[in-house]
Chain A
């Protein structure tokens, strides 16, 4: 892997982020609703005079393009502004919540890839077998069912019938002062249901995709070569075939990451997970422009980073993409 390639890729990523910032800003200003009214509403009164002074204070009375220039300038200096509603710097709000979101999203991503690919590989061994049929049906259901429904069903199931997993929050209050490993286990325990809820849609897709990809690869000449040298069926499947079948799976995993983040927003709301989803939800309701834009900024940063990582892993997985050395 050449470092110039990485540099170029990162440069594109930064440019893309700048575009995202501008686009976010304009889209949100185009949406109906006046934050001054909401802020005033919070304070209890709303004379036209007060609204004016609020607009003055938050710079909402300047022309939109001027506001954009100021905002972009601030972002470039690492300043995401002050929340209208929480009266805190947006970066502080996000810093408090981005950890749980990253934990949730990455766990769900790994869970869906690992389980999905495993199911797909097993199914590909016998394309007409029962496992194959199960994967197809499961993939269709998993794809069709909305996350919040899965989430709510799991909550109902585990809150009453099988109370083995917590259905709310990220930590037990009574364990706040326990040793670090107790806390870690507690967090992982809380993570199970939200991560599974988020994973299940993608899990089904990865299962179907890897089944198809494996079936194609298993028909190729080099698989016959692997068998001809006496490789075991396990090595044929998981070493020779999967390394090749992984290429399309990696592409989709990279593309799905954005969807996973928006899915996380819903799952966090359903399970009261203290991440950025909840913050996004609250700030949208309150027309808290700086916070919404901050959340979107970080969400797109995560997507851009995920795409760069996908590219890198793609080049690692497929030697044909690496330059000759």
Chain B
């Protein structure tokens, strides 16, 4: 069975003042119907760019899709006509963003904003669209949806706004729902509620979810499969349990070690030493080499490819050579 959404060897570049940088360097991902794919990785590793490329929302210029393909049910999206992409966005692929505080337009009521999404893709009257919007607000757990639909975004809390965003995103029953760090800006109890809601929505609407997050706890609860990204590449990909229990790549191991409860016995918050190198300073070797304790000469000169050497696919020479 071919995947619902398949991204293959996607390359995205940006023109910056340091010259052209490669933000995505051959990313391949796929998600099947009804499945949740978790995408994890440090800030700046290209998670959002991957999502935006799928939506056809990379700002061009300065961005450019330099190669690769994105297929939705076999239909190529890279280079698709703008009108076709507008037809798919919000209807077949929808996205929830990280910042609920700023992602809604401050001058329109939330009901009107959801109704707009409905009317863009379905032939319904404005009245009916507004009624549907109210029903959706009810569905995502907003109390007195009738009154809230007439509120402006600034009158709602962050958690409520993110529910509005979810209502808007699922309003046309998308096949793929991309949630880009949907809970980062919210407090912990609200985070759990939003994840519960996403699970319910997936059950009811049958959408495939791509969940982008820093939060390994969310991954263990939500994701069926996980892709770990680093510096514009996927460096490990497997079933969620496999990645959580047997991380292969030293970076994935580091990420798992950073989870207080899931990791080793000591409860001190750990972090991976060093930072992601800036894109314009990426060399020929493994992008993680400078932060890795298993680095050898080959790591500094040759980029490792994603391949099954150990337990499951990882892009690491040390794993391939059986050194770890």
Cβ-defined partner of A230 (8 Å) among B88, B104, B154, B155: B88
Count residues of chain A with CB under 8 A from any CB of chain B: 21
Q: Is the interface of A mostly helix, strand, loop or mixed?
A: helix
In contact, B102 and A220 (Cβ under 8 angstroms): yes
Within the complex, the shortest CB–CB distance from A242 to chain B, in Å, comes to 10
Name B150's closest neighbour in chain A (CB-CB): A325
| B117 beta carbon closer than 8 Å to chain A | yes
Given A221-B102, A243-B107, A319-B152: A230 and B97 within 8 A (CB)?
no
Cβ-defined partner of A232 (8 Å) among B86, B94, B102, B152: B86
In contact, B99 and A318 (Cβ under 8 angstroms): no
Cβ-defined partner of B105 (8 Å) among A232, A240, A317, A324: A240
Count residues of chain B with CB under 8 A from any CB of chain A: 29
Given A227-B57, A228-B95, A229-B117: A319 and B89 within 8 A (CB)?
no
| A320 beta carbon closer than 8 Å to chain B | yes
A238-276 interface code vs B (CB 8 A; 1 in, 0 out): 001001100000000000000000000000000000000
Q: Which of chain B's residues have a CB closer than 8 A to the CB of A227?
A: 57, 89
| B55 beta carbon closer than 8 Å to chain A | yes
| B106 beta carbon closer than 8 Å to chain A | yes
In contact, A228 and B90 (Cβ under 8 angstroms): yes
Name A246's closest neighbour in chain B (CB-CB): B107
| B120 beta carbon closer than 8 Å to chain A | yes
Cβ-defined partner of B91 (8 Å) among A230, A244, A318, A324: A230
Name A222's closest neighbour in chain B (CB-CB): B105
Q: Which of chain B's residues have a CB closer than 8 A to the CB of A226?
A: 105
Q: Which of chain A's residues have a CB closer than 8 A to the CB of B89?
A: 227-230
Q: How far is the CA of A230 from the CA of B55 in the complex (A)?
A: 10
Cβ-defined partner of A229 (8 Å) among B102, B106, B116: B116
| A67 beta carbon closer than 8 Å to chain B | no
| A62 beta carbon closer than 8 Å to chain B | no
| B103 beta carbon closer than 8 Å to chain A | yes
Within the complex, the shortest CB–CB distance from A199 to chain B, in Å, comes to 27
Q: How far is the CA of A41 from the CA of B172 in the complex (A)?
A: 83
| A79 beta carbon closer than 8 Å to chain B | no
Name A320's closest neighbour in chain B (CB-CB): B154
| B168 beta carbon closer than 8 Å to chain A | yes
Within the complex, the shortest CB–CB distance from B89 to chain A, in Å, comes to 4
In contact, B99 and A229 (Cβ under 8 angstroms): no
| B121 beta carbon closer than 8 Å to chain A | yes
Cβ-defined partner of A221 (8 Å) among B87, B97, B107: B97
Cβ-defined partner of A231 (8 Å) among B55, B99, B103, B116: B116
Q: How far is the CA of A279 from the CA of B86 in the complex (A)?
A: 58
Name A318's closest neighbour in chain B (CB-CB): B107
A192-234 interface code vs B (CB 8 A; 1 in, 0 out): 0000000000000000000000000000111011111111110
Q: Which of chain B's residues have a CB closer than 8 A to the CB of A318?
A: 106-107
Residue among A225, A243, A320 with the most chain B CB within 10 A? A225
A143-176 interface code vs B (CB 8 A; 1 in, 0 out): 0000000000000000000000000000000000
Name A225's closest neighbour in chain B (CB-CB): B103
Given A230-B89, A231-B120: A222 and B57 within 8 A (CB)?
no
In contact, B155 and A225 (Cβ under 8 angstroms): no
Within the complex, the shortest CB–CB distance from A273 to chain B, in Å, comes to 38
Given A228-B57, A230-B88, A240-B105: A319 and B154 within 8 A (CB)?
yes
* Contacting residues of chain A (279-325) with chain B, CB-CB under 8 angstroms: 317-320, 324
Q: How far is the CA of A222 from the CA of B165 in the complex (A)?
A: 11
In contact, A225 and B104 (Cβ under 8 angstroms): yes
In contact, A244 and B106 (Cβ under 8 angstroms): yes
B13-40 interface code vs A (CB 8 A; 1 in, 0 out): 0000000000000000000000000000
* Contacting residues of chain B (97-120) with chain A, CB-CB under 8 angstroms: 97, 99, 102-108, 116-117, 120
In contact, B90 and A229 (Cβ under 8 angstroms): yes
In contact, B104 and A222 (Cβ under 8 angstroms): yes
In contact, B106 and A224 (Cβ under 8 angstroms): no
Name A244's closest neighbour in chain B (CB-CB): B107
Q: How far is the CA of A229 from the CA of B99 in the complex (A)?
A: 16
In contact, B168 and A229 (Cβ under 8 angstroms): yes
Give the 8 A-B CB pairs with smallest separation, nearest first: A229-B90, A230-B90, A221-B102, A229-B117, A230-B89, A319-B152, A222-B105, A221-B103
A-B contact pairs, 12 of them (CB 8 A): A221-B99, A221-B103, A222-B102, A222-B103, A222-B106, A225-B97, A225-B105, A227-B89, A228-B95, A230-B86, A243-B105, A324-B155
17 further A-B contacts with Cβ under 8 Å, apart from A225-B168, A240-B105, are: A222-B104, A227-B57, A228-B94, A228-B97, A229-B116, A229-B117, A230-B87, A230-B90, A230-B91, A230-B117, A230-B120, A243-B105, A244-B106, A318-B107, A319-B106, A319-B154, A320-B106
